[in-house]
Structure 1
Amino acid sequence: MTETLFLTSDDVDGLATPAEFVDAVREAYRQRGEGAPAEPRTKLKNADPPGFLTTYAAVLPDTGVMGGYMYAAGFAAEDSWFATPLFDAETGEPIALLDGASMNPFKTGATGAVAADELARQDASSAAIIGSGAQARGQLRALSTVRDLETVWVYSPTKEHRESFAGEMDRRLDGSVAAVASAAAAVEGADIVVTATNASEPVFDGDLLEPGAHVTAMGQYDPAKRELDTTTIERATYVPDLRARATQDAGSFLHALEEGVVDEDHIHAELGDVVAGYEPGRQARDDITVFDSGGTGIETAAGAYLLYERASAADLGTTIDFAPGSEALTGE
């Protein structure tokens, strides 16, 4: 038997700061740029009841772990559950199993922040946030660790939601956070634009982007999801988390391909290539850049290992036993 640490969402909630997630995810994407294995998600859909089962994973050899997500969303319960196994990258033994619910916005937000740090202007000081849910919170909190944000404009369709979000974030962050009445009002003049929605149609007009703006889109993990219009894709230096994702489930990029405004050569580089220094990020002050974040095992394994280390040091969690295949398959 192998002893494995089981960590609930409550066990790991609050164990790491947004800045610490950013550091862990940056290191993981450096490893990806150096050749660490990672693949896009596999998504199995169900029609009745509607839902999907998703898996994705990565190996982080320098960190010494491998793992990722398996999660279900929708179905009759109309909710989601995130199981996060971690394995030792040398022995293959399971070292932890985490409930990934509370980690999800932080590791995803950290990925957006790593990309913004590479692609946004160094003097970027204003941001637009489209969305007001947990993912929007994770994105903004992480982003504020890599740029000194003086002004943040928030838009989501429900007035009460955007005002509540703005009030909460205004108290938490150093800069001013205010709700606005339209996506156009949020985007116009913003140095950094973050979309954190489940939209199937573009959430702002790409012509509104100022020269030099950076966009992080994190709600584009399905061909039917499309936060960005073709104008934004066409104008931008386009960087996905994984190159293979761009032609598999990156809805806005796929739509731009179908319309013929870009081809596959429009993919500038993977984020890991930029973090590792093999490809340039921003090349000119007036460039518009886009990071397409659909979710990978890279940030998931990195975030989970960070929490595993913290939980182990704090003596949190419950030990469970896993039987190796040699025992399970040869028992009488």
Structure 2
Amino acid sequence: MAESEALFLESEDVSTLATPSEYIAAVRDGYRQRGEGAPAEPRTTLRAEDPPGMLTGYLAVLPDSGVMGGYTYAAGFGERDAHFVLPVFDADSGEPLAVFDGASLNPHKTGAVGAVGIDALARENATQVGLFGSGSQASDQLRAAAAVRDLEQVHVYSPTPAHREAFAEEMGNELDPAVRAVTEPKQAVVDADIVITATQASEPVFDGEWLEPGTHVTAMGQYHPEKREIDAHTVAKATYVPDLRARLEQDAGAYLQAKSEGAIDEGHVQAELGDIVAGNAPGRTSDREITVFDSGGTAIETVAAAGLLYERARKAGVGESISFAPASDAM
């Protein structure tokens, strides 16, 4: 058989190929396919101690999008950094289409799935956001949230004053809603319609008692059984929706710790996000309901975003052509 031609796409090649709204549309459709039965596997992580680090990967097949793939990244180790590699295959032929350096893709696709969760679970008239975190993930969560709701004000909290103030100035200049740094976590939660946690915190960043009826919470900064950004009280009183149900007993720390504390019973889950997007399960059912989207990361949003970027890159003539030999040549 002939070799297959694929694209190698560097991080800079794809960094400007899609807007937040376009990422959101692609990711929403990916979760719709998941809700209709598209296969996806939760992350698998191998942890090393010397030097400390982790090697992580996950997989998804999106038949309607015509793509499938897996995301693998190494984080920590001697370099104390992270590197992301994403191969994408044709879902019909199985042939490789592209290999991405996924560094620039990561915050965009993660912000997009946060927005899909907001669109599915937050009140239609939500205008106020409380944001925890001031890094690139927080930036893209906010950009994506602004694409699905008509935001008016954002209160951002980060434990380092200089970081939250710089974030507020930068994002306030970029977005329509007023963005203001606050000095206490409670100030980011009280009166918020949407609360987003995009941090590296190992313990809850706010008290669930502060949440007003009708608030939606997106928790996306942790995927470790012993780490959580939201407390058991928040999980217990919320309509709780994970990105992938198979994550629950593996790395959904907020869910696992709420269960171990006796705050929730087995099965305290409304549905997977894909089930709600596909219309197979209800999301929010009242304006006073508190909702939580636990976004620990899956290949669904990653492969959906990569499929979009591959098509854009191919039409734009971006990327370097590389060849893959079929296994039949070697067997």
Rounded to whole Å, the distance in 2 between the matches of 1:282 and 1:232 is 16
**Which residue does 2:126 correspond to in 1?**
124
1:69 partnered with 2:71: yes
- Counterpart among 11, 14, 24 of residue 12 in structure 1: 14
Equivalent residue for 1:172?
174
- Given that 2:182 and 2:188 are in contact with CA atoms closer than 8 Å, whether structure 1 keeps it comes out as yes
**Structure 2 SS opposite 1:284:** coil
Match of 1:58 in 2: 60
SS in 1 for 2:100: strand
1:244 aligns with 2:263: no
Q: Which amino acid aligns with 1:64?
A: G
4+ residue segments displaced more than 4 Å: none
Superimposed CA distance per residue, residues 84-111 of structure 1 (whole angstroms, 9 cap, x where no aligned partner): 1100001111000001100100100000
Residue 195 of structure 1 corresponds to which residue in structure 2? Answer: 197
SS in 2 for 1:225: coil
Secondary structure of 2:129's aligned partner: strand
Partners of 1:2 and 1:58 lie apart in 2 by 21
Q: Distance in 2 between matches of 1:122 and 1:17?
A: 22
Secondary structure of 1:129's match? strand
Pick one of 264, 268, 271 that aligns with 1:269: 271
Say whether 1:49 aligns with 2:51. Answer: yes
The answer to which of 81-90 and 219-228 deviates more is 219-228
Q: Distance in 2 between matches of 1:77 and 1:7?
A: 23
Alpha-carbon distance between aligned partners in 1 of 2:43 and 2:142, rounded to the nearest angstrom = 25
- Residues 1-332 of structure 1: matches in 2 within 5 Å? 1-329=3-331
Shift of 1:219: 1.4
Give percent identity, aligned residues only: 63
Contact 1:7 1:317 in 2 (8 A): yes
CA-atom RMSD, angstroms? Answer: 0.7
2-structure distance, mates of 1:238, 1:264: 12
The CA deviation string for residues 194-238 of structure 1, in whole angstroms up to 9 with x for no partner, is 000111100000000000000000012111221000010011000
CA drift at 1:260: 1.1
Larger deviation, residues 181-190 vs 293-302: 181-190
- Quote the Cα distance in structure 2 between the aligned partners of 1:258 and 1:184: 26
Which SS does the other structure have where 2:230 is aligned?
coil
Specify the SS of the correspondent of 1:41. strand
TM-score when normalising by structure 2: 0.98
Give SS of 2:71's match: strand
- Cα contact 1:219–1:225 (8 A) shared by 2: no
Work out whether residues 155 and 179 of structure 1, in 8 Å CA contact, stay in contact via their aligned partners in 2. yes
For 1:208, the aligned partner's letter is W
CA contact (8 A) 1:68 1:298 kept: no
- CA–CA distance in structure 2, aligned partners of residues 114 and 230 of structure 1: 24
